[in-house]
Structure 1
Amino acid sequence: MNPTPGRGSSPAPGRHHLRLVGHLVSLKERSGCSYARLASNSRTTGGTDGAGSVSATTLKRVVDPIQGVPVERAVISFVRACGVGGEEKALRLWRAARAESRGRLAGLRAPHVDGIRTRADLAAALAAVYEGAGAPALRVLQARAADAGIAGHVLLPLSTVWRTAGRRGLPATWKQCAAFLRACGVPARRMGRWEEAWERAVAGRTAVRGRSLSRPAPGAPVRRGRTPSPVINWTPELEQSLMTLAKALAICAEDVKPVTDNMARTAVMVGKTVGSLQLEKSGMVAVNALSALLHSLEATARLNGLGPSSSVNGHFPPVVQGRRVLAPGAG
């Protein structure tokens, strides 16, 4: 019985994987070492980045395209055991081969860093950076986030790495985002553009190195000591509308206040008549809630210079609405 085509067979190696294998084989030929000798060399050429001693069998699998893309640690150990350089190129080819093998990078449709505008754009771009870095193990990524003597697990929690790499969420702060990018190999000279993208997507404003580019609208007053809101454009028209609303709420509070007193007495009478303590309690809760609302309205009105303390003979000052002047109670 002939096997089903493709079943049980390994996928064909990609173009970048073949280029990686070719580069590693050329390094071995230049070194003139056997696999046994390379394995012996790997015991003394390990570093602090996780690369270390590997067996001759593992080294053979590294350059066997049928075995799939090798792990990063094995590639580094292979190159260092050869002792003829070529590590930077090998890692560049390995990252391309890993991204090609995983096949997720194109599906992210991530924008360029300068084209990031929303949180979704930023999430896709960070996930693309992770895929482009070869999708290293999360703990490896966490260890690489270390900077200025601060451990990686302090700067970048493992849960944050998992969410960001899988496009499940964003880092909580720019400091965490910078640590993630650094761990993925983004150079320091590009961090400024990423910080601008972070500000656009998360802070909701266009910024350059932490400085807001938002400008007040033409004709809008500039208030000293007040930072303009990135969302609300404070204009004289808006201020006048808010004052009109405050005056209307103050008038409403004065008109409705006697009603709440009647409601309280009615709730007590109904509760006693029906004989239900629960009904009386429910009525009082509703009355108390309405009373609290009215007290809040009164406080807001007084903060704006309105209310009984500012009324003249029980009447409030005229309410300006557009170009018309409306007296209280006018239609």
Structure 2
Amino acid sequence: MGRREKPVDHSHPARGRLAEHLRLRRETAGVTYEVLGRESGLSPATLKRAASGRTVPRRAVAEAYVRGCGCGGDEEALHTVRELWRQARVEERGRLAQLSAPRPELISDAADLSRALEAGVGAGRGAEPAGDPGPLRRPACPAGQQRGPDRQARHGPC
């Protein structure tokens, strides 16, 4: 038998709840991380990290973890892990926790929806896409290479 797992990190409560839920699923299924890795297609290290509570795993990892525990066809189990993941992600991102959706009864057409969304973005509370890479940069041209005139017009000198 391997070493006992370290206690779940509850410094961020939602992350801790997700980790506890994942561990409970694995314990209930009675599988090791090695078996779970074979069932889920993920490495045991990735699965251990997902259940540590130190980080929020990718959603696909959390779902594969639950499916690997034999809950693949159980939509309620998948819904539960998705909701716990969402709460942990919101907690991790911080500013998303302050967002609230506009009240549906106040949105009567596309223009109202647009104004409501702009108001949220204008207040500095706009939704951030997960994993936003920031502004894209064009790679520099390799030494001595320039684009031809036809491509230069469309893409710039390099």
Name the TM-score class by shorter chain: 0.5 to 0.7
* Residue from 60, 70, 76 that aligns with 2:48: 60
Tell me if 1:18 matches 2:16. Answer: yes
Q: Structure 2: how far apart are the matches of 1:103 and 1:93?
A: 15
Which structure has more RCO (C-alpha within 8 Å, separation ≥ 6)? Answer: 2
Deviation at 1:103, TM superposition (A): 1.1
Which residue identity lines up with residue 40 of structure 1 in the other structure? R
- Larger Rg belongs to: 1
1:13-162 superposed matches below 5 A = 13-42=11-40, 53-66=41-54, 68-84=55-71, 85=74, 86-108=77-99, 110-116=101-107, 117=112, 119-123=114-118, 124=120, 136=130
Three-state SS of the structure 2 residue aligned to 1:111 is coil
1:15 Cα offset (Å):
1.9
CA RMSD of aligned residues (A): 3.0
1: CA distance, partners of 2:10 / 2:26: 24
Q: Cα distance, 1:26 vs. partner?
A: 0.7
Aligned length: 113
Unmatched segments (≥5 aa) in structure 2:
1-8, 133-158
- Aligned mates of 1:113, 1:17 — CA distance in 2: 30
3-state DSSP of counterpart to 2:81: helix
> What does 1:203-214 correspond to in 2, within 5 Å?
none
User: Cα 1:75–1:114, aligned 2, differ >3 Å: closer, same or farther?
Assistant: same
In structure 1, how many angstroms separate the alpha carbons of the residues matched to 2:11 and 2:80? 19
Amino acid at match of 2:57: P
C-alpha displacement of 1:92: 0.7
Q: Distance in 2 between matches of 1:23 and 1:129?
A: 30
* 1:14 positional shift: 2.0
Q: Percent identity?
A: 33
Gap change, CA 1:118 and 1:95, over 3 Å in 2: closer
- CA separation in 2, counterparts of 1:40 and 1:76? 15
Structure 2 distance, partners of 1:118, 1:32, is 49
Report the residue type matching 1:20 in the other structure. Answer: L
Secondary structure (helix, strand or coil) at the match of 1:65 reads coil
List alignment gaps of at least 5 residues for structure 1: 1-10, 43-52, 139-331
Q: Is the 8 A contact 2:90 2:97 kept in 1?
A: no
Note the C-alpha offset of 1:12.
Answer: 6.6
CA distance 1:129–1:19, change in 2 (3 Å): farther
Deviation at 1:25, TM superposition (A): 0.8
C-alpha distance in 1 between matches for 2:102 and 2:39: 43
Aligned in 2, Cα 1:72/1:121: closer, same or farther, shift over 3 Å? same
The 1:72–1:109 alpha-carbon spacing in structure 2 relative to 1, beyond 3 Å, is closer
Residue identity opposite 1:31 in structure 2: A
Give, in angstroms, the shift of residue 108 of structure 1.
4.1
Q: After superposition, where does 1:167-178 map in structure 2 within 5 Å? A: none
Give 1:101 deviation, angstroms.
Answer: 0.9
